[in-house]
């Protein structure tokens, strides 16, 4: 097994300023700690009591809340009444690596490295379903906590994420039993192990799915398969495949698409 991770760490460039920001690196991370040896924050949030809606934004594999909060910072420049919450995934030993297996931030474990060492990003990874189920329950609790802030409940809450975080956001959103403001999945997929419950159409679940056509970690065919499942189940889904964009490369176009959806879904005033 190579030292290349199947789903990778955020890297940076500023969005909405004419360039891209890559949110997942190609190399295995050396340390689960933040810079200067400090442990990663359990959660980052911005926005106070005056907020009218929440975006729960999940980082990807091997990443941290700080490395996705930049998206929230950009969005709050446009929507000052938006609250952004970035939870942290737990540290885990990753099973798909041979030898000295690292402990990295991950919402769940991987048993395969199709998008890395195997060179088959078109094949879905085998993952730890118990981890997915546990984190699903945790995310539902976070949704409930944010929903309690608003008179309209979870209708004022949007769940989203990048790469593995996007996969988990879709899983938690479709299994949430009530109406949700919406869900954003960037460079991820709807896992085949995620069951779509009956009544999804009645809940009018709104979905934004974005992927890069040059993704060599999680190929577009996997994202599209999930989009098709959601459409058949009655979800209200908008999708966009961005040309010449690799895995978790966050562009101006992607952030703009998310901003438009947040404006429509949460009816947020802009500045």
pLDDT of residue 49: 64
- The two beta strands, 43-46 and 82-87, are antiparallel
- Asked if residue 196 lies in contact with residue 226, where contact means CB atoms within 8 angstroms, the answer is no
pLDDT at 28: 32
The answer to whether residue 27 sits within a structural domain is yes
Range of the domain at 86: 21-266
Is there a domain that residue 271 lies in? no
Question: Does residue 13 form part of some domain?
Answer: no
CATH number of domain containing 80: 3.40.50.1820
Does 196 map to a domain? yes
Q: How do residues 189-212 score in pLDDT, each as one tens digit?
A: 999 999 999 889 999 999 999 999
Q: What is the pLDDT of residues 105-155, one digit of tens each?
A: 999 999 999 999 999 999 999 999 999 999 999 999 999 999 999 999 999
What integer pLDDT is reported at residue 271 of this predicted model? 79
Q: Is 84 helix (H, G, I), strand (E, B) or coil?
A: strand
Task: Say if strands 182-186 and 206-212 run parallel, antiparallel, or are unpaired.
Answer: parallel
- Whether 6 is in a domain gets the answer no
- In this prediction, residue 153 carries a pLDDT of 98
pLDDT for 41 equals: 54
pLDDT by residue, tens only, the chain of 271 residues: 333 344 544 333 333 443 345 554 333 333 333 333 333 456 677 776 689 999 999 999 999 999 899 999 999 999 999 999 999 999 999 999 877 788 999 999 999 999 999 999 999 999 999 999 999 999 999 999 999 999 999 999 999 999 999 999 999 999 999 999 999 999 999 999 999 998 899 999 999 999 999 999 999 999 999 999 999 999 999 999 999 999 999 999 999 999 999 999 999 988 7
pLDDT at 233: 97
Q: What is the domain count for the chain?
A: 1
Query: Does residue 193 sit within a domain?
Result: yes
What whole-number distance in Å separates Cα of residue 250 and Cα of residue 87? Answer: 19
pLDDT confidence of residue 17: 41
| Nearest CA-CA partner of 67 in 75, 59, 76 | 59
Q: Which residues contact 26 (CB under 8 A, 6 or more apart)?
A: 4, 5, 8
In a domain, 107, yes or no: yes
Q: What pLDDT sits at residue 46?
A: 72
Provide the 8-state DSSP code for 73: H
Q: What's the pLDDT at 100? A: 75
Residue 161 lies in a domain: yes
At residue 45, the pLDDT reads: 73
pTM of the model: 0.87
Q: Which residues pair with 84 in a beta bridge?
A: 46, 55
In angstroms, rounded to a whole number, what is the distance separating the alpha carbons of residues 23 and 20? 9
């Amino acid at each position: 097994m190579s030292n290349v991770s199947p789903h990778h760490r955020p890297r940076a460039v500023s969005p909405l300023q004419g360039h891209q920001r890559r949110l997942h690196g190609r190399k295995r991370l050396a340390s689960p700690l933040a810079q200067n040896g400090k442990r990663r924050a359990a959660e980052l949030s911005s926005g106070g009591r005056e907020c009218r809606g929440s975006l729960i934004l999940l980082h990807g594999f091997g990443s941290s809340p700080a490395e996705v909060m930049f998206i929230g910072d950009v969005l709050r420049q446009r929507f000052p009444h938006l609250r952004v919450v970035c939870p942290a995934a737990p540290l885990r030993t990753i099973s798909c690596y041979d030898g000295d297996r690292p402990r990295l931030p991950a919402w769940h474990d991987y048993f395969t490295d199709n998008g890395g060492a195997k060179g088959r990003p078109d094949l879905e990874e085998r993952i730890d379903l118990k981890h997915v189920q546990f984190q699903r329950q945790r995310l539902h609790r976070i949704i409930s906590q944010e929903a309690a802030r608003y008179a309209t409940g979870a209708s004022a809450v949007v769940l989203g994420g990048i790469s593995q975080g996007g996969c988990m956001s879709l899983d938690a959103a479709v299994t949430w039993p009530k109406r949700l403001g919406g869900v954003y999945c960037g460079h991820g997929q709807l896992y085949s192990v995620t069951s779509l419950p009956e009544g999804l159409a009645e809940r009018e679940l709104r979905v934004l799915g974005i992927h890069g056509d040059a993704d060599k970690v999680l190929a577009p065919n996997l994202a599209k398969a999930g989009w098709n499942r959601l459409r058949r189940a009655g979800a209200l889904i908008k999708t966009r495949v961005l040309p010449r964009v690799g895995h978790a490369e966050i562009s101006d176009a992607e952030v703009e698409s998310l901003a438009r959806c947040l404006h429509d879904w949460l009816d947020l005033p802009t500045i």
